[in-house]
Amino acid sequence: MSEPIRPIRTEADHAAALAQIDALFAASPGSAESDRLEVLAVLVSEYERTHSTAMPAHPIEVLNLAMKAQGRTQAELAELLGSRSRASEVLGRRRQLSAAMVEKLAQAWAIPAALLSAPYSVESRLMRTLKIGVVVLAIMIGLSAAAIGGLYAWYGSDLPNSEQIAATLAGSTENIPGFTPLRELPPEVIKAFLAAEDEDFYAHGGYSRTAILRAAWRTVSDKRQGGSTITQQVAKNVLLKETPSFGRKIKEIILSDRLEDALTKDRILEAWFNVIYFGGKEYGIAAASQHYFGKTPGNLTIAEAAYLAGLPKAPNVYRLDVADNRTRARDRRDWVLARMAADGMITVSAARLASAEPLTTQDR
Amino acid sequence: MRILGGDNLGAYAKRKPRKREYLLAFRALVDTASWTLPKDVEAQFVQVASLTPPDRIAFDFPEEDLRIEMRVNCALGLARIFNVGPSINRKERQR
């Protein structure tokens, strides 16, 4: 007599029931063994149903498997659905299977309609476009990085290194007649020049990316250049003797980078104050102070410092010793004073007082 | 068909998560099938099924590196899955 059938409560019961099923599997229909097999099968499938977390199948995975099982091709699917793109979009999960498509697949290929009708999400065109956009952007960034690396290597190979730059600057600036150490310049003078020329001087690494992009755009659009930081101006005026060009701009950036490695910010600023051009024959802050105001830099007023700070941008446009420039020079000075006030370098009232001062040069 | 030993599919899906969707689709197709003879199985899965009389059927999916073996009792509508593993044909192809 066979063992009585018991409920399946544990994994061990499940395994034992499966073993019995395997033993009875070939039972003839209508036999006692077949009845026993049927009861065991109900118990096992119910146990498995309650002890598993079976998820619904994805309709497109069902379609894929059915096609593979029957040896169907994408071309045949295209023929059935009416177009290649439709088949491609369906298999790529970029298009929902419509009711008409499900019906065709059920009739022609005997794929159960219920399995193909389950809802599923498709990738929107916008999402796909965004994904492609991200990939294109990544490629462009990669190519740009490679191009910048290539330019840096190409133009930087014959430029001096940091040590050579330090030695060159020591030799070329400190021997200038009237060399003015930075410590001898009043804070307002330094502030005025930073406000006019490079307010982020102490924050950037030698060059400003936005300023370079702006300058590049100007170069492309109307051939003008600009956008140089104080470090770049030192590199350009002391270390480079070439005429303006795209190549020189690249070299200027590379040298600025190396200059920042070679010298402190104060040392770079000091070099700049002593080589910068102020119009006429005047180079350096000492010569300019003397030429325009008959003073040493240490005795400049805020208004005078602001005027001198406005000069390096376009010395011959703002020179006070040319009568036609007086209005432009005054406007430029007032602009520098406004920048100083806006940047919190001086108070608004100090800027107003300085703006009210007449702009006059020493009598010559 | 009533699936028995379906936990074999679940266990394999846990070990090979990338095959999970495929296994779910396979289960769904067997679940909704109503085979009256083992040859019906071969007909529905003509490219991948091979019958070993009287009731053993192996489904081999080389591209998915998947093989599912089952016995069918069509009279009672039972499909007993007893083995799930890598494809044999794939290994042979690679040799």
Answer whether A102's CB lies under 8 Å from A93's CB: no
CB-closest option in B7, B73, B76 to A48: B7
Domain coverage including residue B72: 2-94
Chain A residues within 8 A of B4 when measuring between CB atoms: 18, 21, 41, 44-45, 48
The tens-digit pLDDT sequence of chain A (364 residues) is: 567 888 899 999 999 999 999 999 999 888 999 999 999 999 999 999 998 876 889 999 999 999 999 999 999 999 999 999 999 999 998 888 999 999 999 999 999 999 999 888 887 778 888 999 999 999 999 999 999 888 888 888 888 888 888 877 776 666 777 789 999 999 999 999 999 998 888 888 777 666 666 666 665 555 444 568 899 888 888 888 777 777 888 888 888 888 888 889 999 999 999 989 998 888 899 999 999 999 999 999 999 999 999 999 888 888 877 777 888 889 999 999 999 999 888 999 999 999 998 887 765 5
H helices of B3-82, in order, are 7-15, 20-32, 38-44
Q: What is the CATH number of the domain that holds B16?
A: 3.30.2310
With vertex at residue B67, the alpha carbon angle to CA B45 and CA A33, rounded to the nearest 5 degrees, is: 75
Q: Which CATH class is domain A59-116?
A: mainly alpha
Q: Tell me if chain B has a CB within 8 Å of the CB of A51.
A: yes
Please report, for residues A123, A130, A143, A151, A212, the alpha-carbon distance to residue A137 in angstroms, rounded to integers and kept in the order given. 20, 10, 10, 21, 21
Answer whether B64's CB lies under 8 Å from B22's CB: yes
SS3 assignment, position A204 = coil
Cross-chain Cβ contact B26/A65 below 8 Å: yes
Q: How far is CA A229 from the centre of its chain?
A: 21
Chain B residues within 8 A of A57 when measuring between CB atoms: 21, 24-25, 27-29
Cross-chain Cβ contact A45/B2 below 8 Å: yes
**pLDDT < 50: residue spans in chain B:** none
Of the candidates A201, A191, A200, A204, which has an alpha carbon nearest to the alpha carbon of residue A340? A191
What per-residue confidence (pLDDT) applies to A227? 64
Cross-chain Cβ contact A69/B46 below 8 Å: yes
Cross-chain Cβ contact A54/B82 below 8 Å: no
CB-closest option in B3, B10, B29 to A66: B29
Cross-chain Cβ contact B29/A45 below 8 Å: no
β partners of residue B59: B49, B68
Q: How far apart are CA B10 and CA B39, in angstroms?
A: 26
Of the candidates A63, A70, A122, A50, which has an alpha carbon nearest to the alpha carbon of residue B25? A63
> Model ipTM?
0.92
Q: How far is CA A167 from the centre of its chain?
A: 36
CB-closest option in A14, A25, A29 to B80: A25
Chain A residues within 8 A of B3 when measuring between CB atoms: 45, 48
Q: How far is B93 from chain A (nearest CA, A)?
A: 18
What per-residue confidence (pLDDT) applies to A47? 94
- Superfamily name with CATH number, domain A159-356: Biosynthetic peptidoglycan transglycosylase-like (1.10.3810.10)
What per-residue confidence (pLDDT) applies to B91? 61
Q: Tell me if chain B has a CB within 8 Å of the CB of A34.
A: yes
Chain A residues within 8 A of B27 when measuring between CB atoms: 54, 57
CB-closest option in A25, A44, A52 to B73: A25
pLDDT in tens, B55-72: 999 999 998 899 999 999
Which burial class, exposed, middle or buried, applies to A190 when counting CB atoms under 10 A from its CB (0-12, 13-18, 19+)?
Answer: buried
Cross-chain Cβ contact A58/B24 below 8 Å: yes
Domain boundaries, chain A: 11-50, 59-116, 159-356
Answer whether B41's CB lies under 8 Å from B53's CB: no
Q: Tell me if chain B has a CB within 8 Å of the CB of A45.
A: yes
With vertex at residue A125, the alpha carbon angle to CA A124 and CA A131, rounded to the nearest 5 degrees, is: 95
pLDDT in tens, A138-160: 999 999 999 988 888 888 888 88
Of the candidates A311, A226, A227, A328, which has an alpha carbon nearest to the alpha carbon of residue A273? A311
What per-residue confidence (pLDDT) applies to A224? 46
Q: Please, what is the end-to-end C-alpha distance for chain B in angstroms?
A: 36
Long-range contacts of A8-16 (CB under 8 A, 24+ apart): A8/A43, A8/A44, A8/A46, A8/A47, A13/A47, A14/A44, A14/A47, A14/A48, A14/A51, A14/B7
Q: How far is A236 from chain B (nearest CA, A)?
A: 60
Considering its fold, how many domains does chain B have in total?
1
Q: Tell me if chain B has a CB within 8 Å of the CB of A46.
A: no
What per-residue confidence (pLDDT) applies to A191? 92
SS3 assignment, position A116 = helix
CB-closest option in B32, B44, B59 to A115: B32
Cross-chain Cβ contact B78/A25 below 8 Å: yes
Bridge-based pairing state of the strands B66-73 and B78-85: antiparallel
Q: Which residues of B fall below an 8 Å CB-CB distance to A? A: 2-7, 10, 21-22, 24-29, 32, 44-49, 54-55, 59, 61, 63, 71, 73, 75-76, 78, 80, 82
Answer whether B2's CB lies under 8 Å from B79's CB: yes
Instruction: Compute and round to an integer the Cα radius of gyration of chain B.
Output: 13
